[in-house]
Structure 1
């Protein structure tokens, strides 16, 4: 099973810009959790804090049921030079074996790589160069790559950006399968209709934690405008000081 995650009074600022303040929430193990909110509300910064990629104030604990498991991560986007002779299959194999390109990859590696690509509907693009793919197709390949090690915790930052309808369907089906396997999924998403289909727990963030709960309760039509207003109705005061700064995730 994937881990639970607890955040206690988490705050983050860049120089004098307060990004997050007093974020306290518990994320249940083996569930899909979606972080939503307006642009600039701190969603990606919250993911980076959980991953230990940026200093933060407060406490974040990733609570594994047994020994520490594996973590998969998909960023918002990646850029690939079109002329770079790196195929989709090469990219997956490199991340699977950590071997130089000129090494001969064994059949087992290739079978596993193609199986992961097939889960995202990208097996027929295996011999395309990464730079030839659309942004949405590249996201699907990055997602396939993140699944190679069978992670127990999967963290996704706007994974459907640029995806067509077919790609979104593959993504939603796969998320459903992973939750059935009791993986913990943490995803930043902006599409309200898509999040409703995921049957996830939603956490709305705009500098502070606005609301948490089941998607059907949080994403009610009469609440949408208030929840996703760019203006912070609750001012984020300068309470993040230069005292204890933590950049490690337990």
Structure 2
């Protein structure tokens, strides 16, 4: 069974419920800037089932829609939905903002504690202060066989620039990207079907959505030659 991880803005409980998707585990990482305290919460299957059913609230709810859109692409592209264990980490808020420290902590939880086999990172940061611990946890996971896919940016971003990560772009990005940006795979579709704002719709392709498309292809068809970096 494949362990699939998504680090993003969480997921809508209603989407999980309406599409018959269950979480095997989840976590939320946030930084209280005023107190300079990292707050972390993790949840197991029983707590997640109660939240999914609407019985109890958790701080995993996607208040932006980005994380739900990413999961919806995976779910739509891979039919039938495979036998996977799905893990979600929420680090982005309603404005799709997050802190690099939360990303490093989420990577540690996903890759070291959970030990996911495939990780989707439709996000990135230009801040390089935490590059060393980020590289350490990513390289360790890839060495054991994990595959990490990350959306590339128009400028160098982490973790996409790390050698052990497969960075993904879309056609629009490639029309403006500089030579200093690492892009390992390009999704050429110009649109994608996804769930956002309470409904399914066609949306313009972005590098974030392209990353999910690439992850879906791995679930559906297996890992292409050259993507394994360990």
Q: What is the TM-score with the length of structure 2 in the denominator?
A: 0.36
Q: What is the TM-score with the length of structure 1 in the denominator?
A: 0.34
Task: Identify the structure with bigger relative contact order (alpha carbons < 8 Å, sequence gap 6+).
Answer: 1
State which structure, 1 or 2, has the greater radius of gyration over its C-alpha atoms.
Answer: 1
